[in-house]
Structure formats: structure tokens, C-alpha cells
Structure 1
Amino acid sequence: MLFLAHLPVDIGVVAVFFCQSDPGMCDDWDATGGANHAYVFTGELTPVAVPAKGETLLGAVTALRCHPADSPSEEPVLGRLGGAPDGLQDDETPDCPRCAARMAFTAELEEGHDFATSANFGGGGRGYVFSCTPCRQASFLWQR
């Protein structure tokens, strides 16, 4: 699985991964298909140093920053935290795998600006992160 993002949210830090071993051949758009996963980490996280040599596989790194929607910015915006999903298809909000309650929308991610380093959400798609606060569970899916 390819690491996509880590998002600091109310329940902890959500780390999002999705299948890119054979793009287009795994059901990485499905929140419950097994080709993607969102993990919730709680407590203090310590960043790991970048290896001195070898390939890191991160062609580009983009940081999401809190930015008020009503103020202009020169920075490209590649997603948002909270609010409501701006779905490209029908509502696909998943149920929590533990308690079966409908999960809450947490974040929306866009593919990126450079084709060579962007996430593969089928060309122009968006990724959606959902969470269940009581169970500390998260899920990820994308639509195009």
C-alpha cells in the first residue's frame, strides 16, 4: 500500500494508505474492499529521519494547512478538513466496521497538481476520509 496522507483530527492522527501496486487492478476506490486503509493513531507521534541513501518513493510532499474558505491564498489547496463531502458520485459514506454506525466525514483530498507525483484517483477524482469517534476507526474511499 502507498502512503497517501496523515491528517491531524479530533480523534488522533489518521494515516491514509491505498493500493498502487498495479494501478486500476485493485478496488482502491472502495472503503471496505481491502485495497485501502485509514489507521487512527493516538498519543504522541515522533517523525522518523529521512534515510541518508536509498529511494524514499516520495516524489513530492504537500502539506495541508488550515485555511479559512473566505480568504484568498497563493498556496494551492489540495483538500479540506471537516465540513461536508463534495461528492462526485452518489453518497458512499461507509459504516463503522466496529459498531456499524454511519461514519462522519473527516477530510477530502484532491489528486495533486503534477501528474508524475499526484495520487491516482482515476484522473480528476477526490479521496474521502471518514471516521467514527467512539470507536476510533477511520475509512478511506475515492470517487471520480
Structure 2
Amino acid sequence: MTTLMIDSGPIDADAPVTRVGGVPLAPEGTAWPCCSSCDGPMQFLAQIVLADLDSDDGGSGSGPSAQRGVLALFACQNDPGACEDWDASSGGNRALVFPLDGLQPIPLPRPDGKDAEDADDAEEDGYGHGNAFDQDEYDHEDDDEDDDEGVLLLGATRAVGLDQEGDPDYGRARAAWAARTGNATSAVLGQLGGRPDWLQFDETPSCSSCARPMSFVAQLQEGPDPITAMNFGGGGRAYAFVCEPCAGAAFLWQC
């Protein structure tokens, strides 16, 4: 059995569901992650509600895993390739697990040090301190700020639906889904749970706290639209893992 992640069309940028793109949700006060190599803010890629893993086991999403939280994935795109964002331990990407309670959009970093201004700015901007997210507040007035935003956000937010195919092989399941539904294989955004379908070799990361192998959560395709796609080296796939006892996570990609 393979649980496929299917493109279900546009959705609100701050929707508290599994999605690709949009804005990251986290507890109040969470800072936007920065690359440890170049110190620049990373691009937000995807959010995975870990309770959705119940569907991979035939569950309803209301069991113990309903309290697992959300996994947020980031990668550095300030100078693509320079910060080795494909490596789980390079510091060029970040996978973060957050509790479900009190999630709100992480304030978008401002250019030219504006993010260091007093906290009232975030409140006035309307996306901090519990205010509802407003996409207009992320639209900057000058071209330089638009360019900065393009590095941090994908430019489209795609809802993720889940569909299952009987074949445990991801490639065959993806092809079977396309044949059964009449949709293009590009509508498959990835796989939730199961076993990773490595493009190269097994790179399952170990938890930095307990040293045990991490549990596989999902693999992601770059996306159907080249303009708003994630960058995994051109036709690559990303792989996300968690260590739930340690509340740790890791992310890498292969091409």
C-alpha cells in the first residue's frame, strides 16, 4: 500500500493542514529559520500535519498521533547549491516539529534589518501576536522586497489530498493512480509514510539526540509548475524524517 500526496488545488496560505507552499505556522515568538552557512533566511517549502500519518495505517486521524503536531520544512535558496541544502546535516535546510496548539504564521523576515525594529511593527503588520494572516501583508511595495519574498516563499499554496494505491512501490503506485484517475503523474506531489523510494542510496538520518534511525514521514516531488516548484536539483525528490520521542526532525533531497 502506498499513500500518495495529491495536488488538490489552491488553498489559503496559512491553512492548518498538510500543504505545499504558503507560510509556515509555529508557536508565537518563533523566528524564521536561517541558513547556518550563509546566515540568510531559508525558503519555506511545506507543512505536514503528522496526524495524517494515521491514514497510512488505515486510521481516522483521531488516534494518539492526532497530537503529534506539524512538521515544517525549509531550505536555503539564497544561492542555490552553495549551502548544500540537499544534506540533512549541512545546516542548509531545516525540519522543525511544532505542537498543534497556538499555531500562527511566522513573521516574514524584513530586508535591511527591518525585522530588528520594535515588536509593535509585527503587530501593526497584522501577521503577529495572534492576528489573522492576511496575504496582502506579505506583498511588498518595491521590487527589491518582492525579490526577497520570492526567495522565502514558493509563490503558490497547494492543498494535499491523500489517495492510496495497493502497490507498495512508489513509482508503480504513482503510475497506477494516474492510469486509474486519468490525471497526469505530475499531480502526485509525493508520498506519505510507507518506505522512502530513494533515487540514489539509503540516507536515513539518525537522531542527533538519541542516535536512533529516524522515522520516515514523507517524500516530496518538486511540484507540477516550474515557476513555483521546489528546487531539488532538477527532477529530484526530498525526504522528511522525525524522531518523535526527541521531537527532532531532518530533511534531505536526492536527484
Tell me whether the two structures share a fold, i.e. TM-score over 0.5.
Answer: yes
Counterpart residue identity of residue 7, structure 1: I
Counterpart pick for 1:8 among 49, 66, 84: 49
Match of 1:130 in 2: 241
Residue 69 of structure 1, CA deviation: 2.2
Bigger drift between 126-135 and 37-46 goes to: 37-46
Match of 2:163 in 1: 67
Deviations 1:64-91 (A, max 9, x none): 2121225644481111210000000110
Counterpart-to-counterpart distance in 1, 2:47 and 2:73:
6
Residue 103 of structure 1, CA deviation: 0.3
Deviations 1:100-144 (A, max 9, x none): 110011000000112221111001100000011111111100000
TM-score normalised by structure 1 residue count: 0.91
Counterpart residue identity of residue 233, structure 2: G
Q: From the CA coordinates, give the structure whose radius of gyration is larger.
A: 2
Identity fraction in percent: 49
Q: Secondary structure at the match of 1:34?
A: coil
Q: Secondary structure at the match of 1:134?
A: helix
Pair 1:140 & 2:197 matched: no
Structure 1: runs of 5+ lacking an equivalent = none
Bigger drift between 13-22 and 58-67 goes to: 58-67
Pair 1:91 & 2:202 matched: yes
Deviations 1:4-54 (A, max 9, x none): 000001421000000100012111010011000100011322453313442
Counterpart-to-counterpart distance in 2, 1:94 and 1:121:
18
Change in CA separation of 1:94 and 1:21 when aligned onto 2, cut-off 3 Å? same
Counterpart residue identity of residue 50, structure 1: Q
Residue 99 of structure 1, CA deviation: 1.0
Counterpart-to-counterpart distance in 2, 1:133 and 1:3:
22
Bigger drift between 5-14 and 50-59 goes to: 50-59
Counterpart-to-counterpart distance in 2, 1:35 and 1:120:
13
TM-score normalised by structure 2 residue count: 0.53
C-alpha contact (below 8 Å) 1:2/1:17 kept by paired residues: yes
